[in-house]
């Protein structure tokens, strides 16, 4: 069974409709592990030492990684940036040989939900920038870290979805995860 690690960055999953439904759907896909990062760090503080070591271990156990989050102010929730600052800094700048280099080659997919419409994120739309453009810093980070970028799974009009649309979004996420798994074979690991 291959390991698909889904890191969920929702500031308050108890009040979530869409990410709550998506993460429940993701758990039905064999080989997935969903980790609620906000639940692990309720105060939003992640240190690069003990926390960083634990998070690095979880990443290094994965065959592929999904970053799931709601769009906040045309960007990621603050906790995802805190996670990058603590965990990726540690792995790629402090323990590059034993951690960062070992993560190289692990594919990465973003699963984001946005309140506005797809058209608003179109060229010339109300938001002025496409979602691909807004996700560029994450893509640059993935490239810097040697994590092959898989096309993102996006849900628009989050918060305004009818029950049938929410069910369709969940089904589409399951298919996206299955496609991601099929496109990215399990990593071959060196014996310790």
* CB neighbour list of residue 192: distance below 8 Å, 6 or more residues apart: none
Q: Does position 71 bind ligand FMN by CB under 6 A?
A: yes
CA dihedral 31, 33, 34, 35 (to 10 degrees): -170
- Sign of the alpha-carbon torsion through 141, 3, 187, 183: negative
The residue whose Cβ lies closest to ligand FMN is 115
The C-alpha atoms of residue 87 and residue 140 are separated, in whole angstroms, by: 16
Q: Does position 129 bind ligand FMN by CB under 6 A?
A: no
Nearer to ligand FMN, 43 or 73 (CB): 73
Q: Does position 158 bind ligand FMN by CB under 6 A?
A: yes
CA distances in angstroms from 170 to 26, 96, 154, listed in the order given: 8, 37, 11
Q: Does position 32 bind ligand FMN by CB under 6 A?
A: no
Q: Which range, of 70-78, 98-106, 144-152, 177-185, touches ligand FMN by CB under 6 A?
A: 70-78
Q: Does position 18 bind ligand FMN by CB under 6 A?
A: yes
Q: Does position 131 bind ligand FMN by CB under 6 A?
A: no
Question: Which of residues 114, 135, 142, 181 is near ligand FMN by CB under 6 A?
Answer: 114
Strand order in the sheet with 108-113: 32-36, 4-8, 64-70, 108-113, 149-155
Nearer to ligand FMN, 80 or 103 (CB): 80
> Which residues bind to ligand FMN, rule: CB under 6 A?
10, 16-19, 70-74, 113-116, 158-159
């Amino acid at each position: 069974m291959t390991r698909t690690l889904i890191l969920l960055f929702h500031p308050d999953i108890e009040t979530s409709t869409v990410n709550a439904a998506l993460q429940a759907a993701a758990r039905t896909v064999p080989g997935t592990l969903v980790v609620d990062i906000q639940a692990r760090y309720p105060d939003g503080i992640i240190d690069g030492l003990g926390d960083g070591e634990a998070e690095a271990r979880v990443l290094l156990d994965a065959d592929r990684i999904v970053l799931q989050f709601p769009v906040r102010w045309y960007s990621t929730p603050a906790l995802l940036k805190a996670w990058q600052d603590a965990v990726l800094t540690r792995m790629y700048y402090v323990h590059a040989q034993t951690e960062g280099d070992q993560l190289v080659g692990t594919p990465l997919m973003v699963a984001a939900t946005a309140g506005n419409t797809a058209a608003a994120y179109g060229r010339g739309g109300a938001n002025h920038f496409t979602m691909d453009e807004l996700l560029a810093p994450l893509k640059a980070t993935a490239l810097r870290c040697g994590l092959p970028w898989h096309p993102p799974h996006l849900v628009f009009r989050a918060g305004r979805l009818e029950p049938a649309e929410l069910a369709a979004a969940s089904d589409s996420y399951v298919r996206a995860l299955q496609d991601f798994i099929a496109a990215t074979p399990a990593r071959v690991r060196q014996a310790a």
